[in-house]
Amino acid sequence: MKKMLSIPLILCLLASGSHIAAAKKGAEVVIKKTDGTSLSGELVTVKTSPDSLLLQEAQSLSDVTLSLDDVETVIVQKKPKLVLGVLMGAVAGGVTGLLIGGFIGALNTEENVTWDYANVTGIGGMLGGALGGGYLGHRAGKDQVIPVSGLSTEQRAETIEKLKSLARIPEMQ
């Protein structure tokens, strides 16, 4: 029983700590300009004096500075996280189901019933967790559209702060 529980716990620990050592990278964005053209790349920083974006273009890897007055929308491209959500949900649901089934089965006095409860609730928890994790992973991977043109001064300041939080270098003058 201890070996059965230790393997999922080790998997959970490995999955949760894999992103700790990664350096911060700016968000991958597509910038739609007011003249109808668009640029894509990594958002490096947002400058406040004057209001502009510094973008490392995806194809040429060159730095491009754009005035916020020339930007219509910024689309933050998020990577799909469906598979990661399904896997994490299945592991979490399976472990939870095994634990609950083990405790319920331990309360029963019949022989070998503990494993029956643990197996059934473990599989049920795994399926439920996979469905829930898949839904959350799908939602987390949707692109975010941030309008820039036509905003009031207060809304523009909020948008600049939001863009700063997505940049590789959040504070630059």
What is the per-residue burial (b if ≥16 Cβ within 10 Å, else e) of 62-82? eeeebebeebebbbbeeeebb
The residue that leads in pLDDT, 5 or 23, is 23
Confidence (pLDDT) at 21 = 45
**Mean per-residue pLDDT for 86-105?**
81
- Residue-wise pLDDT for 117-128, tens only, equals 677 777 888 888
Token duo for residue 28:
């991958």
Q: Is the pLDDT of residue 18 over 80?
A: no
Short-list 23, 29, 26, 24, CA closest to 41: 29
